[in-house]
Structure 1
């Protein structure tokens, strides 16, 4: 699921996963840096409810995906937060780690739905660090889309299927 900030992509992805299985695992990549982020994480958790198993995994996604057994469904939310966690202020290397967790998601014994932000739809950022992150996020999304069976762009809570479909 791709979408801009507050596009409804996470809620849409949650609904898809809920419809597909009674056994659901949520791989949470966000870190609670401040009160605003803690509140957002709490809202997401409350919306999912108690029927989800949540695994906080800000960086080691390949290991977490390897540990998933068959018979359930997985929601990874989100690839953008993972990228921010592994690159940080220095814009560090991320490609090998991304390839590893994308391969693990593809090989996972349960279906995996991935949420990611489309950060390239706005203006070109004014500083080099933000431009590098925008470029890296676009490259990560391209890698994800190339391996995915289905890709949707969610706007205002509505999916536009770019690849595959419901």
Structure 2
């Protein structure tokens, strides 16, 4: 089953996704896609590590997320990817955005029994910034989120720590 969790910055989406992972019968694998580029983000990663259960194994990946998901799906254990927005940013930086998005969609369309929780930032709730690069990223992430939501069995929007069911499977 694929579960898609959307939310804004500091909305509680990661905590909600971790709670979903904790409800699974098997120990989960947490796949982190963010790179610690500044002190604030390093602190956020540190806080996330402190709050995660010790039974959750952590793997880090950048643009090779589709390959990692294919490999991890063979273990038949729950997976949590946090988050697609950081992954997309890495793909844009590496110049392989379109190719990697299609690879990810192909993996998701073929997904079988393993529980997969995908987290992403909802970008469509505020004004668009003036910079064309940021606007292009927001449009690309919005399109990716829509494609993932169509494939997902269930989807949630988390705001102020409260989940709203968008799609129930």
- TM-score, normalized by length of structure 1? 0.91
1:99 matched to 2:102? The reply is yes
- Matched with 2:82 is 77
Residue 93 of structure 1: how far off its partner (Å) = 4.9
Unaligned runs of 5+ in 2: none
Map residues 52-67 of structure 1 onto 2, 5 A cutoff: 52-67=56-71
Q: Aligned partners of 2:122, 2:156: CA distance in 1, in Å?
A: 11
- Checking the alignment, whether the CA contact within 8 Å between 1:70 and 1:109 is kept in structure 2 is no
Q: Aligned partners of 2:49, 2:158: CA distance in 1, in Å?
A: 20
Q: Aligned partners of 1:84, 1:124: CA distance in 2, in Å?
A: 17
- Matched with 1:144 is 148
- Matched with 2:118 is 114
Partner SS for 1:75: strand
- TM-score, normalized by length of structure 2? 0.90
User: After the TM superposition, which parts of structure 1 deviate over 3 Å for at least 4 consecutive aligned residues?
Assistant: none
Q: Aligned partners of 2:15, 2:119: CA distance in 1, in Å?
A: 10
Q: Aligned partners of 1:98, 1:58: CA distance in 2, in Å?
A: 13
- Checking the alignment, whether the CA contact within 8 Å between 2:28 and 2:79 is kept in structure 1 is yes
Q: Aligned partners of 2:53, 2:154: CA distance in 1, in Å?
A: 26
1:164 matched to 2:152? The reply is no
Unaligned runs of 5+ in 1: none
Q: Aligned partners of 1:160, 1:154: CA distance in 2, in Å?
A: 6
- Matched with 2:43 is 39
- Checking the alignment, whether the CA contact within 8 Å between 1:152 and 1:162 is kept in structure 2 is yes
- Checking the alignment, whether the CA contact within 8 Å between 1:26 and 1:54 is kept in structure 2 is yes
- Matched with 1:30 is 34
